[in-house]
């Protein structure tokens, strides 16, 4: 397998915004197939897409999320700022 056709646990974690431990647990639980090579796990791009393809957002979904964030900040901005200071 070519090097650029795989991801490391760290790369997968960064792409999905989760911890490396969470990715490692998915491997250990059998939810994500990985090959251990030289003491490091490699996840193929095909396997990554098979497992996490549903995490890709459409442009419409991104707009809905952005609108929700803007509305929340507009309505609760001061409360969010105060909570952030705690």
Structure tokens at 70: 């803007």
For residue 12, with 0-12 CB atoms within 10 Å meaning exposed, 13-18 middle and 19 or more buried, which class applies? buried
Q: Same domain, yes or no, for 37 and 74?
A: no
Domain count, the chain: 2
Q: d(Cα 62, Cα 40) in Å, to the nearest integer?
A: 34
Please check the confidence at residue 1 and state whether its pLDDT lies above 60. Answer: no
Q: Same domain, yes or no, for 61 and 79?
A: yes
Q: Which domain holds residue 66?
A: 57-86
Angle at 39 between CA 51 and CA 32, to 5 degrees: 10
Q: Same domain, yes or no, for 30 and 42?
A: yes
Q: Same domain, yes or no, for 50 and 85?
A: no
Q: Same domain, yes or no, for 44 and 67?
A: no
Q: Do 47 and 33 touch, CB atoms closer than 8 A?
A: yes
Q: What is the pLDDT of residues 6-61, one digit of tens each?
A: 999 999 999 888 899 999 999 999 999 999 989 999 999 999 988 887 666 778 88
């Amino acid at each position: 397998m070519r090097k650029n056709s795989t991801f490391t646990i760290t790369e997968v974690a960064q792409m999905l915004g989760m911890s490396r431990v969470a990715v490692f647990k998915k491997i250990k639980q059998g939810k994500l197939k990985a090959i251990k090579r030289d003491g490091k796990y490699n996840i193929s791009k095909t396997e990554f897409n098979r497992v996490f393809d549903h995490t890709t957002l459409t442009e419409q979904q991104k707009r809905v999320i952005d609108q929700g964030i803007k509305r929340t900040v507009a309505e609760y901005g001061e409360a969010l700022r105060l909570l952030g200071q705690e």
